[in-house]
Structure 1
Amino acid sequence: MQATNTLPLDMVYHWEATKADSLYLTQPVGNDQVVEYTWGRAVDEARRMASYLKSLNLPEKSRIGLISKNCAHWIMTDWTIWMAGHISVPLYPTLNAETVNYILNHAECDVLFVGKLDDWEMMKPGVPDSVRCISFPLSPPNDFETWDDIIARCSPLEENVQREPEELATIVYTSGSTGKPKGVMLTFLNMAYAAEGGMEVLKVGSDERMLSYLPLAHVFERTFVELASLYAGFHLFFAESLDTFVEDMQRAQPTLFLSVPRLWVKFQQGVLQKLPQKKLDTLLKIPVVNKLIKKKILKGLGLDKVKLAGSGSAPLAGDVLDWYRNLGLELLEGYGMSENFAYSHINKPGRSRTGYVGENMPGVETKISPEGEILIKSPATMLGYYKDEEKTKETFTEDGFLKTGDVGEIDEAGRLRITGRMKEIFKTSKGKYIAPAPIENQLMANQSIEQVCVSGANQTQPFALVQLAEGVRDKVADEAYRKELETTFSQLVDRVNKTVDPHEQLAFIVVMSDEWTIENNFLTPTLKLKRNVVEDTYEGKINDWYAQRKKVIWQ
């Protein structure tokens, strides 16, 4: 695949010129009401706001912050910042004040767009007084200048501002499971290459529909939703809230749908609470009923029109993948990082293999280092980390490959399998190394478990901390149910231990009563477990757990 010259703003101007009256964005605003934006209206509002930003006479290529849940104005603001000649800096809408302050100061943001947020009061103290704030129509109450007032009084920017391929387009601060977030510098070329390569592989057209609900501050949603809609020209819908998610799905009737492993598991568990697996298996064996049941389940999830479903951001257990595929939904896993704009590997329809994240995307080169680390190179790979030359140098090999930090192997068909993280691999007191991910995936196949962390550095054998699925958590107060679950988990440990090497066999499972959430810092904004936080939190209890000599421990 050749490097592209069609940059994101070129696509904005293209749709403005060719389908100004076609619907592009559908934004719910409460009480079953929506506001709809045609391409013409969306670009006009972005041009007016760009005109305003230019009137502020900010230094050239200023960093402009954007903190909001997904909404139509998020997309328009990205364009606005680029049209005004600046660099967009998205912030996750779930950050605490300390991290908000760190990013705004580190990026030296002059302006911050404040949008749809649930915890603005918690974040607000992190915004420096020197930062000029502009609020979206759906933002929490504030005394900032508003989007609607500004565009009402500003004339649209008339010129089609062009940006160079190698210019910095955005700085994406990694959600990071450890330490301070790093600012990943991505160019317009990085973005364009990933978007066009994605379209080529997935064969996406202008008649698709997508629901945007995973954080746009994350590259997964930015590449395969924002940029995909921009390059293919399809209709984008937004979710109002978690409570209205089913209605939002029914409104969008998506033909493409992306999610992260934790949510795919939650959707599955929701189905199985109403229709237990044994009953489902029985019904699926009846030829007359089989198709009706599959259709009913997918329709209930809002996935009955989906022709392409994807999962990314973290590994998804093979049993869950197979469960969806058994319903007729070919769920395709992909792989990517902030550092390569989520553009790396994907399973292709009809060529997927359970447990593998797929083949190289167009223009991607992959090799495995002598230590087993996955190394990747493509035109979508970042310039480096903002204001951190040392970390940038450490992250690349001498021949320009990105060190992913992941351990893996490639099969005979060129499909990549990730076997663990370099940093997550730990050593037992016997000097044996353990990669926790494969063991965690086996445990996650149990429907009663929602999250798992396998640990045990410097111990004789590893152990697993598990968090129960939502419906199961409510039932464990019943002693008979709890005993039954304990027997199930004891058998699960035995089954898993038969499939792994002796040094990898689990000593016990600890069933946690604590909930691991974004709010209490156990999860990243993309719902990945922060392993270091989990291990630090429970470190003082480990010796007591081993001393109990039980296979299942209730914490």
Structure 2
Amino acid sequence: MHRVTPQFHTPADEPVDHAVLEHRAASVGHLLRDRVAATPHAPAFLHAVAGEGGEEWATVSWGELGEVVRELGAGIIALGVEPEERVAIASGTRYEWALADLAVMVAGAATTTIYPTTIADDVAFILEDSATRVVFAEDTGQLETLRAIRHRIPGVGRVVLMEGTPDADDWTLTLEELRALGREYLDGDPGAVDARIDALGPQRLATIIYTSGTTGRPKGVRLQHGAWTYEAAATDAIHILDEDDVQYLWLPLAHVFGKNLLTLTLQIGFATAIDGRVDRIVDNLAVVRPTFMGAAPRIFEKAYARVSMMMEAEGGLKLRLFRAASRTGREVSVLREQGTAPTGLLAWRHAVLDRLVGRKIRERFGGNIRMFISGSAPLDPDVARWFDAMGMLVAEGYGLTETSAASCVNRPRAYRYGTVGWPLPGIEVRIADDGEVLVRGPGNMEGYHNAPEATAETLEPDGWLHTGDIGELDERGFLRITDRKKDLFKTSGGKYVAPGVIEARFKGLCPYASQLVVHGAGRSFVSALITLDPEAISGWAAEHGMAGRPYAEVVASEACRAMVQGYVDELNAGLNRWETVKRFTILDEDLSIEQGELTPSLKLRRKAVAERYRDTLDAHYSDS
């Protein structure tokens, strides 16, 4: 174990309901059963359904949810799935994903999560490695993928199709057929599901989430029921959400962040509108009018860029008011961060500009948002502060798949931009002498599935988990993440560069940016690959005489190059000399999940990008 700095538990000025933590539920199955009993008539989920006049939002109560989940859980038992055996879900975020996962929980089995974009070879590996018995498939497309690899997954006995009509065979059945099977099973054994729940405890396996695999094969992270119920109880204990909240949930439920938010609804009892279609987020927010939403930084970056570009296009008085509201709001944000409130002329100016500008911007997000939660990647502090300036706090948090998502989070009453907040109650955080963040707490994984050596490298015998992130704790216990340990590099001049910080800052400065990939390990200077957001740059192109031209043609133009150079210059002005981007190339297409350059949770696969564009990067240094 490395020599470490003193550790931080929950700060002394953080009020915590320790009774909640001490008496948390024994399992996710217990959580659901308790919630159904406590508030059977309260809304649990809202989901989009086809109606006579188009798409409508259907509301499902906790009582109704409990009945459906009980029948599906009994169906899983009827298929012969034993406690802790694996049931996979290969689907995007949708109401049926939640039903399937909760059914697995009450059946005492364990969920294996699979992104719908996962390539067939990795799907086969995950199902084989996890020894999955049953798979919930989203649609016939996912079913075809499973059929193509069926010879590699002999252990998968049945596939349950969420949507569409399966071929007539003994391998597939529909969700409704599984429910019917469950009802029949319960007719013969009415207490079967309750017996499975009663047998569950904190140490029982609940989930195996396979990491995105930025390098090599994904590793299966084993998370026990106690990890999920701890996360829910700890978040409840800091009182940042309550049962009157309404969540909008679009995040991938195959990702630990989304799965965490799904569990949180069971603990607190708020309603969740669930829809994984990213292109529907803005439209749905206007209808659902949620009070909070979790998201990855890219969503905030794009929203900020879109509003800024709209105001620039408007020009005139609207633009001047927008700039004034942004400046004034930022001043107020700084005061709120320090625990004070504006007074005098600043308070008056803020109130007027908020009515004229801030309220209208909040309406674009439904009008009721009081807090966003950002996770999974670094968020540029300037972008976060702009949202706060417009009256919508972005509480950035931090965690890993290996820690069941949240280890730290900023609170509405105590936050510091550029940090990921305080540890949750019950979590200990240390910084090793090499700068690595170490975490110990009830949310930590049991280990990696079928990978004892990898487990030993990550988990110390005394419970400390090596996160692989570099960070620091300030005088009040706020954690600041600098970068991934493996991503830090040293130039040939011996200077260390943290690429993640530079990349996040650029995306906060340039409203047209999609990705910046910083490069320079062992090189004499830093260079970069840049991609632009196709939607944003099309608007810019129309204003510069290139309307309708292909993306590749627009980004190759001298005008586009000059525009991007201006933002790179602005970025460089705030960096140390050895960190500045001396040369860059604008790529003729954006990075994508499909090309293997981004993970399904939109993290950069740095090595894959460097390999694909090796010649381009080498050209940056050809004459140096």
TM-score, scaled relative to structure 2 = 0.82
**Residue 493 and residue 267 in structure 1: after superposition, are their counterparts in 2 closer, same or farther (change >3 A)?**
closer
Alignment of 1:125-204 (within 5 A): 125-127=148-150, 128=153, 130-138=155-163, 143=168, 144-155=172-183, 156=186, 157-159=190-192, 160=194, 161-162=197-198, 163-204=200-241
For residue 420 of structure 2, give the secondary structure of its aligned residue in structure 1: coil
The AA in structure 1 aligned to 2:387 is Y
Q: Which one of the candidate residues 267, 283, 287 is aligned to 1:231?
A: 267
Partner of 2:287: 251
1:538 equivalenced with 2:580 (yes/no): no
1:357-395 alpha-carbon deviations (Å, 9 max, x no partner): 111111111111111100010111011001111000000
Q: Which one of the candidate residues 297, 300, 312 is aligned to 2:375?
A: 312
Partner of 2:101: 78
1:317-339 alpha-carbon deviations (Å, 9 max, x no partner): 11211111111111111000000
**Residue 368 and residue 68 in structure 1: after superposition, are their counterparts in 2 closer, same or farther (change >3 A)?**
same
- In terms of mean alpha carbon deviation, does 471-480 or 377-386 score higher? 471-480
1:166-195 alpha-carbon deviations (Å, 9 max, x no partner): 111111111132211111111111111111
The AA in structure 2 aligned to 1:21 is H
Partner of 1:490: 565
**Residue 513 and residue 181 in structure 1: after superposition, are their counterparts in 2 closer, same or farther (change >3 A)?**
same
For residue 104 of structure 2, give the secondary structure of its aligned residue in structure 1: helix
Partner of 2:527: 463
Counterparts of 2:536 and 2:81 in 1: how far apart (Å)? 54
- In terms of mean alpha carbon deviation, does 133-142 or 237-246 score higher? 133-142
Counterparts of 1:15 and 1:443 in 2: how far apart (Å)? 44
1:213-260 alpha-carbon deviations (Å, 9 max, x no partner): 11111111111x211111011111122633433332223211111110
The AA in structure 2 aligned to 1:168 is L
**Contact 1:97–1:124 (CA under 8 A) maintained in structure 2:** no
Q: How much does 1:16 deviate?
A: 2.4
**Contact 1:25–1:36 (CA under 8 A) maintained in structure 2:** yes
Q: How much does 1:504 deviate?
A: 2.1
For residue 528 of structure 2, give the secondary structure of its aligned residue in structure 1: strand
Partner of 1:110: 133
1:486-520 alpha-carbon deviations (Å, 9 max, x no partner): 33433443443343333322221221112111122
**Residue 119 and residue 513 in structure 1: after superposition, are their counterparts in 2 closer, same or farther (change >3 A)?**
farther
For residue 238 of structure 2, give the secondary structure of its aligned residue in structure 1: helix
Query: How many correspondences in the alignment?
Result: 547
- In terms of mean alpha carbon deviation, does 87-96 or 110-119 score higher? 110-119
Partner of 1:403: 466
Counterparts of 2:608 and 2:389 in 1: how far apart (Å)? 36
**Contact 2:240–2:411 (CA under 8 A) maintained in structure 1:** no
Partner of 1:343: 406
Q: How much does 1:401 deviate?
A: 0.8
Counterparts of 1:215 and 1:469 in 2: how far apart (Å)? 21
**Contact 2:378–2:501 (CA under 8 A) maintained in structure 1:** no
Q: Which one of the candidate residues 295, 300, 306 is aligned to 1:270?
A: 306
Q: How much does 1:102 deviate?
A: 0.8
**Residue 283 and residue 408 in structure 1: after superposition, are their counterparts in 2 closer, same or farther (change >3 A)?**
closer
**Contact 2:249–2:276 (CA under 8 A) maintained in structure 1:** no
The AA in structure 1 aligned to 2:262 is E
1:39-88 alpha-carbon deviations (Å, 9 max, x no partner): 22221122222222222333442111111112222222222212222111
1:221 equivalenced with 2:258 (yes/no): yes
Partner of 1:368: 431
The AA in structure 2 aligned to 1:145 is L
Q: How much does 1:463 deviate?
A: 0.8
**Contact 1:373–1:408 (CA under 8 A) maintained in structure 2:** yes
For residue 148 of structure 1, give the secondary structure of its aligned residue in structure 2: helix
- In terms of mean alpha carbon deviation, does 98-107 or 433-442 score higher? 433-442
**Residue 322 and residue 117 in structure 1: after superposition, are their counterparts in 2 closer, same or farther (change >3 A)?**
farther
1:414 equivalenced with 2:477 (yes/no): yes
**Contact 1:5–1:165 (CA under 8 A) maintained in structure 2:** no
Partner of 1:242: 278
The AA in structure 2 aligned to 1:158 is G
Q: How much does 1:471 deviate?
A: 3.6
**Contact 2:78–2:182 (CA under 8 A) maintained in structure 1:** no
Q: How much does 1:483 deviate?
A: 4.0
For residue 189 of structure 1, give the secondary structure of its aligned residue in structure 2: helix
Counterparts of 1:234 and 1:124 in 2: how far apart (Å)? 39
**Residue 542 and residue 403 in structure 1: after superposition, are their counterparts in 2 closer, same or farther (change >3 A)?**
same
For residue 112 of structure 2, give the secondary structure of its aligned residue in structure 1: strand
**Contact 1:267–1:301 (CA under 8 A) maintained in structure 2:** no
1:17 equivalenced with 2:50 (yes/no): no
1:467-490 alpha-carbon deviations (Å, 9 max, x no partner): 112344324595799545433433
Structure with higher helix content: 2
**Residue 494 and residue 137 in structure 1: after superposition, are their counterparts in 2 closer, same or farther (change >3 A)?**
closer
For residue 505 of structure 2, give the secondary structure of its aligned residue in structure 1: helix
Counterparts of 2:132 and 2:164 in 1: how far apart (Å)? 19
Aligned CA-pair RMSD: 2.5
Identity %: 29
**Residue 442 and residue 241 in structure 1: after superposition, are their counterparts in 2 closer, same or farther (change >3 A)?**
closer
Counterparts of 1:539 and 1:240 in 2: how far apart (Å)? 35
Partner of 1:354: 417
The AA in structure 1 aligned to 2:292 is L
Counterparts of 1:524 and 1:343 in 2: how far apart (Å)? 20
TM-score, scaled relative to structure 1 = 0.92
Q: Which one of the candidate residues 357, 379, 389 is aligned to 1:326?
A: 389
Partner of 2:6: none
1:54 equivalenced with 2:74 (yes/no): no
Q: How much does 1:415 deviate?
A: 0.5
The AA in structure 1 aligned to 2:245 is E
**Contact 1:43–1:76 (CA under 8 A) maintained in structure 2:** no
Structure 2 gaps, min length 5: 1-17, 314-318, 329-348, 547-553
Counterparts of 1:266 and 1:119 in 2: how far apart (Å)? 30
**Contact 2:398–2:405 (CA under 8 A) maintained in structure 1:** yes
Counterparts of 2:225 and 2:245 in 1: how far apart (Å)? 24
**Contact 1:4–1:189 (CA under 8 A) maintained in structure 2:** no
Partner of 1:553: none
Partner of 1:291: 355
**Contact 1:69–1:117 (CA under 8 A) maintained in structure 2:** no
- In terms of mean alpha carbon deviation, does 14-23 or 265-274 score higher? 14-23
**Residue 51 and residue 369 in structure 1: after superposition, are their counterparts in 2 closer, same or farther (change >3 A)?**
same
**Residue 367 and residue 243 in structure 1: after superposition, are their counterparts in 2 closer, same or farther (change >3 A)?**
closer
